Amino acid sequence: MTLHFTPIAAAITRRQAVKAAGKAIAGLAGIAALPSLSGAAAEVSPMQTIPASQAMNANSTEKLRVATCQFPVSASSAENAEFIRNFMREAAGGGAHLLHTSEASLSGYAGCDFPTFENYDWGTLRKQTVELQALAKDLKMWLVLGSAHFLDVNTKPTNCLYLISPEGAIVDRYDKSFCTDRDQLHYSAGNRLVTHDIRGVRIGLAICYDICWPQLYIAYRERGATVMIHSMHNARDTGKNCLDTLNLREVPARCADNRMWAVVNNSSQPYSHWGAFIARPDATIAKQLESNRPGMLIHDFPDTLSEGGWYHNFKPMRMRDDEIMSWGTPSNHPRQRDGQSQA
């Protein structure tokens, strides 16, 4: 979603970032023994509305502990993977069941972290993806991995989130549905939503500019999602602009409109417009990281509202039958239609 390309010289290295970060971890609750993990793909009609009475039960004895991280995403998938591996181990040590990474966190973001996909090293990206899948299996952890999904040499890839299971398998993939004009120079648009049940919590996957289209959160609510896992890239910019406030307002508003929670993160490559945060359906932000430096926060679901908070919307808006659900041109490539195709 970043709107400006800044020369790579403005980047900071992984070593500089790690030195600056120290132990930047927030929101750790008491660590309990990890129960067995389970996940089943949701089989819910896109238009099925889930009653408000089925909202998350914060007193549930089973919890989904989500860790979300930020780091200075670069054009090097090898450097990016090293950050992700370190955060996976740290998250597992904190009792997290799932680690969430930012938009294009492994591949780098075309048009921002690097100019184009011309001569892109897809072989290294695949190798790093497979190694992260293996680590997820070793740690028995879910991984939401921001990357790019190769289709073929003549078709633009998708900007994607791989949902990787504790068995190390790609169980599904979300392709960014709403693509900015700049995105459309490099990526094919997505055209399907992805939900998944993990430890009794139904998550939905979204990427960056999707937040500017209210129908996406409505559609996910109607599929029964209560927690949005939303990856963004508002970084590598020249300084402050409207993005410093846009997502900090839009995300809590979408949550309030739809009685949902959201876990939202960002690249921390300077200048980064905001740090990763947790939004609640009373329009509050439960936790947030400092911008422009690597870090991780952890939050448990089911969750409560803020102290003294309340629901604001008792009759959420319904989807129109003819609503558009993508911006840009989706491909009809079999590797895009298959949500479990390998990287």
Q: What is the pLDDT of residue 54?
A: 43
Ranges of residues in the chain with a pLDDT under 50 are 1-15, 17-54
Q: What is the pLDDT of residue 5?
A: 31
Q: Which helix (H) or strand (E) holds 249?
A: helix 243-258
pLDDT in tens, 96-150: 999 999 999 999 999 999 999 999 999 999 999 999 999 999 999 999 999 999 9
Q: What is the pLDDT of residue 131?
A: 98
Laid out side by side, the sheet with 261-265 consists of 39-41, 195-198, 201-207, 227-231, 261-265, 277-279, 285-288
pLDDT in tens, 39-76: 333 333 333 333 433 456 666 678 999 999 999 999 99
Task: Name residue, tokens 């970060």.
Answer: 21
Q: What is the pLDDT of residue 183?
A: 98
* pTM: predicted TM-score of the whole model, two decimal places: 0.85
Which residues, other chains included, contact 208 with Cβ-Cβ below 8 Å and sequence gap of 6+? Answer: 1, 103, 176, 230, 231, 232, 233, 234
CA 271 – CA 65 distance, rounded (Å) = 29
Q: Which of 200, 209, 129, 205 is nearest to 169 (CA)?
A: 129
Q: What is the pLDDT of residue 56?
A: 64
DSSP-derived pairing of the beta strands 285-288 and 277-279: antiparallel
Strand, coil or helix: what is 25?
A: strand
Residues 276, 295 contacting (CB under 8 angstroms): yes
